[in-house]
Chain A
Amino acid sequence: MKKEQLMLLLTKQIADELRCQPDEIDRHEGFQHMGLDSINSILLLDFIEKQTSVELNPMDLADHPNISSLVDFIFSQINPKGDAG
């Protein structure tokens, strides 16, 4: 999977969790600011694992708190050696 592809999937999933449209989601806006809380995160983390096989924990979302940095982090877990992307 390419980063851009995962970015789109996550945007759609988060929009779905927040009951809004994907084009209302800003990739650089903080999750907390968007209104994504620890309850919404449960399914988001599960979705990420199903899509990428990367198992994240709830603290990873807090440490990488927007779509853009989260996707970078997921890719660093898929390919720890490189892919500065």
Chain B
Amino acid sequence: MLDKGPYWQPLQESNFADPYPMYQALRENDPVHKAQTGEWVVTRFLDVTEVLRDKRFLAGHRQTWLERGVDHLKNRGMDFQAIIEAMSTFILNMNPPEHTRVRQFISEAWVNRELEATVRNNVNALLENIAESEFDIVERYSTMLPTRTACDILGINVASHQEMKELGSAMIKALDPYTTLKDFVRINKASKDFIEFFTQQVHHKISNPENDLISSLIARNEELDGKLTTSELVSICIFMFVAGEETTASLIGTSIFNLLQNPSQLALAKSGGVNMSIVLSELLRFDSPVHLIGRMADADMELAGKAISKGEIVTLCLASANRDESMFENADRLDFNREQKRHLAFGYGIHYCLGDWLAKLQAQIALEEVLRKFPNLSLSDQKIEWRPMLAVRGLKRLVVRAND
């Protein structure tokens, strides 16, 4: 049956709450779909993987688009230059050889990976503060844990974790495929605040190095032939904070929601009858934080019978690929006993998530400990709210009952 669509309506209210029926309609009717906005929307597992594997699909078109937008708005008397500066060295927007160089630089500088104690410490601090019988677990827990951990890793003391988290949420909007003037204003404000904050931190740590990631980035940079500028180091700090915080916050919140929605799987996870790494892997497949990433075709090519022209944009729906029935039987079912297969929650290829291990570590401890403290945790009757975000999807509000 060929339903004529329009298939691609990601900004529709109902699709923020649940985009999976839209993804399914796309996979079944037009898996490489020319959106009314001009870009191609790719929803099947094998097609998404093929694009991520193909070096002729480049990263970074969002950065280019934002640069064009900022230039255009500058001609109309508006200054959003901070966005471009803040994002100058976001590795997810870069291509080889620069991408290879900067990614390797970050990997080499990130030496301290023994973070379990840090994560446990933060989890305990957050759980100790929860005494209410009903509380918003997004506000109190799932967004706060990765924020605190990211601050600890970078070695920054912040006046308010809440404020840092809000800057991160504003900044991540820059990765969404559609941007309004209001978005530019908010992203620019967050960019300015981030730049000011991390510039101070970098300057401080140049003369007062400590055992943290910023100090380590500074030290490693000194050993490089082509040194990065302070502005580029600041951009890397912003990226490390935002990339680690926003995605993991989404993973923890969404995973709690999905567990509470699926009592049999929740019971299975709690019983210890299945390894937590398998639980995590299935939660990631079932409802991954990163829904959309984009690429630009650097040559004319063909994908699933469609002709993609050089310069065209391809939007890859990772979350849809992970629900592809041809790869995962009963894909819409959360099932910790399913056959373990590779999923695309952390991407694929040269841009594969740098912090997958940390996201999994945090989510695992966060889930184990919240269920240990609140063994009868359940959903409340209050309305569940999703953020109106496309690239990184997550809950805005999830009120739970501590004991029921």
Q: Is the interface of A mostly helix, strand, loop or mixed?
A: helix
Q: Is A24 an interface residue (CB 8 A)?
A: no
Contact of B181 among A38, A45, A59, A63 (CB under 8 A): A45
Per-position contact with A for B53-88: 1 when CB-CB < 8 Å, else 0?
A: 000000000000100110011001000000000000
Contact of A58 among B37, B73, B76, B184 (CB under 8 A): B37
Asked if B178 and A57 make an inter-chain contact with CB atoms under 8 angstroms apart, the answer reads: yes
Q: Is B6 an interface residue (CB 8 A)?
A: yes
Q: Is A1 an interface residue (CB 8 A)?
A: no
Cα A53 to Cα B103 with chains together (Å) = 45
Per-position contact with B for A31-53: 1 when CB-CB < 8 Å, else 0?
A: 01000001110110110000000
Asked if B37 and A42 make an inter-chain contact with CB atoms under 8 angstroms apart, the answer reads: no
Given A46-B181, A59-B11, A59-B178, answer yes or no on A38-B72 (Cβ-Cβ < 8 Å): no
User: How close is A56's CB to chain B, nearest CB, in angstroms?
Assistant: 9
User: How close is B121's CB to chain A, nearest CB, in angstroms?
Assistant: 42
User: How close is A22's CB to chain B, nearest CB, in angstroms?
Assistant: 18
User: How close is B312's CB to chain A, nearest CB, in angstroms?
Assistant: 13
Asked if A42 and B73 make an inter-chain contact with CB atoms under 8 angstroms apart, the answer reads: yes
Contact of A46 among B35, B178, B180 (CB under 8 A): B180
Asked if A58 and B180 make an inter-chain contact with CB atoms under 8 angstroms apart, the answer reads: yes
CB neighbours of A38 from chain B (8 A)? 37-38, 65, 178
Asked if B38 and A42 make an inter-chain contact with CB atoms under 8 angstroms apart, the answer reads: no
CB neighbours of A57 from chain B (8 A)? 11, 178, 180
Q: Is B112 an interface residue (CB 8 A)?
A: no
CB neighbours of A42 from chain B (8 A)? 69, 72-73, 179-181, 184
Given A39-B68, A42-B184, A46-B181, answer yes or no on A62-B37 (Cβ-Cβ < 8 Å): yes
CB neighbours of A62 from chain B (8 A)? 35-38
CB neighbours of B6 from chain A (8 A)? 63
Most chain A C-beta atoms within 10 Å of own C-beta, residue among B10, B65, B180, B184: B180
Nearest B residue to A44 by beta-carbon distance? B181
Asked if A58 and B38 make an inter-chain contact with CB atoms under 8 angstroms apart, the answer reads: no
Asked if A32 and B38 make an inter-chain contact with CB atoms under 8 angstroms apart, the answer reads: yes
CB neighbours of B38 from chain A (8 A)? 32, 38, 62
CB neighbours of B29 from chain A (8 A)? none
Cα A57 to Cα B183 with chains together (Å) = 11
Contact of B180 among A39, A45, A65 (CB under 8 A): A45
User: How close is B211's CB to chain A, nearest CB, in angstroms?
Assistant: 44
**Which positions in A face B, CB cutoff 8 Å?**
32, 38-40, 42-43, 45-46, 57-59, 62-63, 65
Show 6 A/B contacts (Cβ-Cβ < 8 Å), sorted by A: A38-B178, A46-B180, A46-B181, A59-B37, A62-B37, A63-B36
